[in-house]
Structure 1
Amino acid sequence: MQHLRVKIIASIGPSSGSPEVILRLAELGVSGFRINFAHGEPSLWREWAEYVREAERKTGRPLALIGDLVGPSIRLGRVKNPIKLNAGDRAEFRCVEESEGGDTKIIPLPVRRVYEVLDEGDLIVMDDGRVRLRVLEVSGYSAIVEALTPATITSRKAIAIRGKDPGLPTLSQRDVEHVKFALDNGFDYIALSHVRTRDDVDALRLIVLREGGDAGIAVKIENKSAVENLQDIIRAADLVVVARGDLGMTYGLEEVPVLQERIVAAARSVGKPVIVATQLLESMIENPVPTRAEVTDVYVAVRQGVDGLMLTGETAIGRYPIEAIRWLRKIITRAEQVLHIERYTPKDKRWAYAASIVETAEKLSAALILVYSITGSLPPWIAASRPMVPVVIGTGSPQRARRLAVLWGLDVRIVEAGGYEEGLAKLEDVLSEEGLLSEGDVIVEAYRETEHKQVIVVKRVFKGLT
């Protein structure tokens, strides 16, 4: 199967949480799987993680596992029966863990702090901005609201108060327990929800280090504080996620495309990998074919130079998870056939070295760029340079391979070796056996021999050897 430059990340949920579906998604080219800790419980997440590792063994491809923390998101309690509202209907938010729902129209919201900051006239939004409720009255830990849009309200939905931040802690004790779970079960990235400042990122990294973990930190940009502190947050992170769902609730929907472009550019300008998430193929939750607008949306994201695209509800709860991945792959493939991506000037010595490798390969019309990585420091900068020449990365560490699997353009292989030159030689053998190297091909190899010695080697393939 053709290797994609832009990577696909799929969220696991009831629709995809079986070994058969996860394996099929991996076979279709999914490079990373996300598990949302806002839903389900540890025994289920552990089972899903095991299915991903099983799919990894069967496909022979490293697959990243991303654990998504709940963070200070405001979520409803348990609604036993869906609450359906028409525009103009009234309902009551009440500080309880669960409600019967249905015709009682009592919405459980067990977060006391929310009622302390709510005022008459406030706008409550949910469902990624599609549902809007106006606050009519607040009394103690209860609030009467009027629906401005039709709504179907179910358990654990996230809500936002337009223009207000209740000031909940970024990391709760439950989040800390979820971090420990992720580290104990070999997750490769931990996604920090509703990050506000660089201090939030540093706090999570301290917990990871204290627990002896090695997971990367993904920051979800989804509120005004994060946008205001964008550069500092991005520099502190390992991966950036444009969380369009909550951005659409915090800002007006018309602002989301502008914010996406800004966040993607800010991440790419400093060489940080960036993923766009939410409502990419939203209609495919119920339909086997996307809309033309969704196809265009994906195409635009590819042209912006994102590292990856993340499906959420489409694969977690949708009726057509496999078809959604097929369509996403089809759109990316077509977009990459006419790809022209803006490149940024390196602002780091390691990035400048990586850019020189890419420039050399492109000037020579090389067949491949080969990198053997021991520390994992060079490949992200190769990806940041957005090479048009195919890149194959070899590494002896499965953990490092998984972290690299969701970065732009990297075809990552696990190759055990005692040093750089041995690793490259083994990588050449593997690629020759797979038919990816042909006689006459020019290849460019690169590695950091020491902290101060960087090596670029140009070779030509002769009779299957170099």
Structure 2
Amino acid sequence: MNKEFDIPPITERDLENIDFAIKHDFDYIGLSYVRRRKDIELLRDILRRKDADLGIIAKIETKSAVRNVKSIAESADVVLVARGDLGMNFGLEEIPHLQRLIVRSALESGKPVIVATQLLESLIEKPVPTRAEVVDVTVAVSEGVDALMLTGETAVGKYPLEAIRWLKRIVTAAEEKVEIYTNRRVLSLKARYAKGVAELAEDLNAKLIIYSIRGVTARLISLLRPSVPFFVGSPSNKQLRKLNILWGIKPLHVPANSYEEGLEKTYETLRIKGAVEVGDLVVLTYGLRSDEQVIKIRKVTS
């Protein structure tokens, strides 16, 4: 406990796992025991040389990682609060504060964040969570996390399906009733555009429909935690899988030959599914690589 071992950030076994992930078209790869930004950059360089489209999840679980969490978050694609190993390196009373610090650092860096380990630990043996576990999950939701990850509950627990159902039930109730932390500090032109679109949809109480190929606009809007439903159409199943981890996004696979065609096909798909109904206001948007942005406001009439 409280000791970090000076081992290489990427081992031979890790390289084998990377090749396995590439071969089987994984979307993300997690890097354990991250200590500094350079560890992420080393993995990024390996993936680049292998021409691999894999996102990097940085697991924050060591004292060095906590000290360097801001620079790690800036370099990684996703940040994971690994509460199990944090509990081995810090006093248990520090974990809630560390969780908040890591979550805020990720969101302020514009990166999605996952909280994992011992969310509903009692469901390993019992079919109902404790009151403390319900509060713990609700607090994580209020902090603005993108995702919650069960571990032992589904890996070795007696009630894996009940654990998933309970987690969904608690999260749904929390999202309806608690105030969720939102970081609306923006820097880039694209981020300012995303903020404008999100606030326009909120002011109009309109549903938001995005067509995205690379997922950039969708990620930026998700970071703002808009209070209205928003849907993302894309021709890329891989991008949609990557986006599925982000807060609030409802993804749809919509092949198209252009952004304009894709946006209209996404709208029509939602009409057919009943997600967009007569009388609804919708804000439709897409952004081109040239920094040209298209925004449409439409009232559904028939």
TM-score normalised by structure 2 residue count:
0.98
Residue identity opposite 1:327 in structure 2 = W
Which residue, 41, 50, 53 being the options, matches 1:202? 41
**Offset, 1:427:** 0.7
Which residue, 201, 204, 218 being the options, matches 1:361? 201
Residue identity opposite 1:454 in structure 2 = Q
Which residue, 150, 167, 186 being the options, matches 1:346? 186
How many residues align? The count is: 301
Q: Deviations over 1:31-75 (max 9, x none)?
A: xxxxxxxxxxxxxxxxxxxxxxxxxxxxxxxxxxxxxxxxxxxxx
Q: Deviations over 1:426-453 (max 9, x none)?
A: 1111111111111121100111134231
Which residue, 219, 222, 226 being the options, matches 2:61? 222
Which residue, 133, 142, 161 being the options, matches 1:322? 161
Residue 351 of structure 1: SS of its match in structure 2? helix
Residue 297 of structure 2: SS of its match in structure 1? strand
Q: Which has the higher contact order (CA 8 A, sep 6+)?
A: 1
Higher strand share: 1
Corresponding residue for residue 460 of structure 1: 299
With over 3 angstroms needed to count, the CA separation of the structure-2 counterparts of 1:194 and 1:448, relative to structure 1, is same
Residue identity opposite 1:223 in structure 2 = T
Give 1:114-133 correspondences, 5 Å limit: none
With over 3 angstroms needed to count, the CA separation of the structure-2 counterparts of 1:455 and 1:256, relative to structure 1, is same
> Distance in 1 between the 2:289 and 2:46 partners?
31
Give 1:243-258 correspondences, 5 Å limit: 243-258=82-97
Which residue, 438, 441, 444 being the options, matches 2:277? 438
Q: Is the 8 A contact 2:190 2:291 kept in 1?
A: no
Residue identity opposite 1:200 in structure 2 = D
> Distance in 1 between the 2:179 and 2:147 partners?
16
Corresponding residue for residue 210 of structure 2: 371
Q: Is the 8 A contact 1:188 1:216 kept in 2?
A: yes
Higher helix share: 2
> Distance in 1 between the 2:289 and 2:144 partners?
31
Q: Which runs of 5+ in 1 are unaligned?
A: 1-160
Residue identity opposite 2:189 in structure 1 = K
Residue identity opposite 1:349 in structure 2 = L
> Distance in 2 between the 1:202 and 1:450 partners?
25
Q: Which runs of 5+ in 2 are unaligned?
A: none
- Taking only aligned residues, the RMSD between alpha carbons, in angstroms, comes to 1.0
Moved over 4 A (4+): none
Structure of higher CA gyration radius: 1
TM-score normalised by structure 1 residue count:
0.64
Q: Is the 8 A contact 2:31 2:56 kept in 1?
A: yes
Identity within the alignment, %: 49
> Distance in 1 between the 2:40 and 2:120 partners?
30
